Amino acid sequence: MDQDEDSLLVQLTINIDRSFETLMTLYWPQLYAFIFRRTASQHDAEDIASEAFVRAYVALKGYPVERIRTLKLRPWLYKITYHEYCRFIGKSSESALSMACIEEGISIEQEEEQQPENIFESVERRLELEGLVATLPERYREVISLYYFEELNYQEIADLLEQPIGTVKSSVHRGLRLLRMKSGAQPDQVY
């Protein structure tokens, strides 16, 4: 995706209006799923993701070309979306912190390489893991979700949550330890 992201950044510097649709096509499914896991509401997830893209568009329109060229699109979009989600939670009267189990992330290439039973087993394991993650305390649930499901690195998570990187690493480690205890796995067993 780095090559796609680099070419998209170049396109954005040339014509934001024309290339923003490509940006949305590329990142909508990821950001929608990211929010849907937290809200368990299709409507709320669509609203939050839509508002995040509006904010991203407005920001890009105001950025100088050099800043657009140096953007790390994926973490930047996650940060905007996460902040939009936090705004929504602040406005919401009901708790939207539950994680919904949805099927996502199986690319066409993976489907062609794997047999149907392997794909089903993989999705089943992921859903089971998402269910376990949903039982973690919020501070661990968030970092584990960002690290494993959204595949953000420690620095990206630290920037997103506005926490020191050491805190993020510690939370991931402690969250994994709690997951292992909940699943009955050995403390040193890796997922």
Domain harbouring 144, CATH code: 1.10.10.10
Query: Would you state the pLDDT for residue 191?
Result: 45
Question: Is the pTM higher than 0.75?
Answer: no
Of 1, 22, 43, 33, nearest to 150 by C-alpha is 33
Which residue range forms the structural domain that includes residue 128?
A: 116-191
CA distances from residue 100 to 20, 30, 134, 143, 169 in whole angstroms, order as listed: 29, 14, 8, 16, 25
Query: Would you state the pLDDT for residue 95?
Result: 35
Report yes or no on 149 lying in a domain: yes
165 pLDDT exceeds 70? yes
Residues 80 and 125 in one domain: no
Residues 6 and 86 in one domain: yes
**Degrees to nearest 5, angle at CA 98 with 97 and 102:** 130
1 pLDDT exceeds 50? no
CA distance 102 to 186: 27
Percentage of the chain beyond pLDDT 90 is 23
Residues 21 and 85 in one domain: yes
Residues 44 and 126 in one domain: no
Residue 71 neighbours by CB under 8 Å, 6+ apart: 9, 63
Report yes or no on 103 lying in a domain: no
Please state the rounded mean pLDDT for residues 74-80. Answer: 90
Q: Which residue has the higher pLDDT, 156 or 129?
A: 156
Into how many domains does the chain fold?
2
Report yes or no on 147 lying in a domain: yes
Band (112; pLDDT cuts 50, 70, 90): very low
Residues 178 and 123 in one domain: yes
115 exposed, middle or buried (CB, 10 Å; 0-12, 13-18, 19+)? exposed
DSSP, res 145? I
Query: Would you state the pLDDT for residue 120?
Result: 46
Band (124; pLDDT cuts 50, 70, 90): low
Residue 187: φ, ψ to 5°: -55, -30
